Structures are given as C-alpha cells and as structure tokens.
Copies of this chain bind each other. A is one copy, B any other.
Amino acid sequence: MSSLKLKIVIVGAGNVAWHLGKELQKNDQEIVQIYNRSVEPALLLARRLKCDFTTRYDNLYAEADLYILAVKDAVIESVSKNLLLKDKLVVHTSGAIDQAKIKHERRGVFYPLQTFSKEKKLNFKSIPFCIEASKSQDYNTLMRLATLLSPKVYNINSHQRKVLHVAAVFACNFSNLMYMMADDILQKEKIPLDILQPLIKETALKITKLKPKEVQTGPAVRKDQSTINAHLDYLGKGVSFNVYEMLTQTITAKNTDEL
C-alpha cells in the first residue's frame, strides 16, 4: 500500500482544528487551506500551519481530497450546506451529531474522543478515533488517516457514537461529580482532597486491566450494613445522603444480579 498523502481543507479554527491540523501535518498530510468565518483565528492557525486561509465560501479550495468540519455541533448542518463541492469527502469531528447532518453524498465522521484545550498539549497516540463514512472507499481512507495518528481507531456508527456519549457522561462527568462530593465532605473537616488523589488515580487506572465489576470495593459490595449506616448517619439528610443511598443500592443490586 502506497503511503497516504491527502490534500486537506480544515473548516474551523478552534481547539480541535488547532491540534488536529498540526498533528495531520506532522504525519505528512498537506493542509491546503483553513476556512473560518472570522479572520483572526483563521490567520493564527494558518500561520501555525504555514498554509493558506479564507473567510469566504466562494474562495474555498475545490480540489482537496478531504474537508474536515471542526466546528460547533449546532452549525455542522448549515456549514455543510454552504460548502459547494462536487464529489468530495466531507467529515465532521463531533461526538453527538449524526453523520446524516452532513449534506454531501460522500460524508463521514472523524471523531477524536478526548477533550481539547488549546493550552494543553495532547498525546495523539492515546486518543481513540471513531470513524464512520457513507462509502466504503471513504471509510478506508479515513481509517488509514486515523491510523497514522493513533493506534486506537474504532468503527463506530452514529447510533453507537450517541451511546458512547451517554456512557461518557457516567464515566467522566458523573465520576467528576463524585470527586466534587468527596471534596465537599472533606472541606467541612478541613482535610485536603490531595489525600484521596492516589486512591482516585488507582481507581481510574485499575480498570485498564480489570473490569470495573471485578474491582468494586467498599461497604456496599461487601454488604457491610453497619458501615453504610454509620456513613448515612454522618451525612445526615440532604443531597449527599440521597446520592449515597441510591448508589449503594445500585451496587448491591448489581452485585446480587451476578449470584
């Protein structure tokens, strides 16, 4: 297989465009143009990538192999409608938006499953890419492109991507809420959250090797009712009490299922 060398237009100049553009370039892809509605972000990114940029749809480079929409979820559909291209592959980079929101016949999704902040450098090799395309040849191209950036490339359709998003709310947003609630509890006793950092880290890293179900510890899974009662007594009535009670019941129920 010959090495992949695509001409790519990036639409958007935000955090995803910023990191992805550079990484694609590092991997021998040619960023031919940045399109962005406003000048300044486009100019900054074009300087970073030493490439052309435009703020007008009618100046869009027409002969690229791939158009990557790295724009906000809400405008993916309307931006796609504005790209007057003939038989060109257009993809978005969003976790939540259906592939069908892209109006081009050759369409797809090139979704890096990670949070991007401009200031924070990312190791692309650890970022999972979720790939989808309407045509199998385009799928293959996206797969080859993603594989250049990361060994973690997944074939994920729009439905699966939505499910992944629900799961990510549990695994990330809700686990962060648990850290926040722990912090609130400790603050009342003037104990720094730092003391729990190793435990938090170990809990997160443990499941890279073992299933979460296999490594569940604590009073709920041990059915240690006297500790559970002592904890509920300490929490008193309120939000923490209610969350503790519901999650304890959930652990107990999930554990009983197994028997």
By a beta-carbon cutoff of 8 Å, the part of chain A in contact with chain B is 72-74, 96, 113-117, 119-120, 122, 126-128, 130, 152, 154, 156, 159-160, 162-183, 185-186, 188-189, 191, 193-213, 215-222, 224, 226-227, 230-231, 234-235, 239-240, 242-244, 246-247, 250-251, 253-254
Contact = CB atoms under 8 A, between A and B. Distances in A.
Contact of A177 (B165, B167, B176, B247): B247
Contact of A175 (B122, B168, B178, B227): B178
Contacts of A182: 167-168, 170-171
A54 to B, nearest CB: 26
B254 A250 contact: no
Given A167-B186, A191-B156, A115 B175 contact: no
B254 A115 contact: no
- Ranked 7 nearest A-B pairs via Cβ: A173-B218, A204-B204, A171-B182, A180-B212, A175-B175, A179-B212, A167-B182
A178 B186 contact: no
Contacts of A239: 250, 253
B175 A163 contact: no
Contacts of A122: 202
Given A96-B227, A130-B195, A200-B204, 17 more contacts: A72-B222, A96-B230, A114-B198, A114-B202, A120-B210, A152-B195, A163-B188, A164-B195, A165-B227, A169-B218, A169-B219, A170-B178, A170-B181, A172-B217, A173-B221, A175-B175, A193-B211
B181 A115 contact: no
Nearest to A173: B218
Give the residue among A120, A127, A169, A250 with the most B Cβ atoms within 10 A.
A169
A160 B191 contact: yes
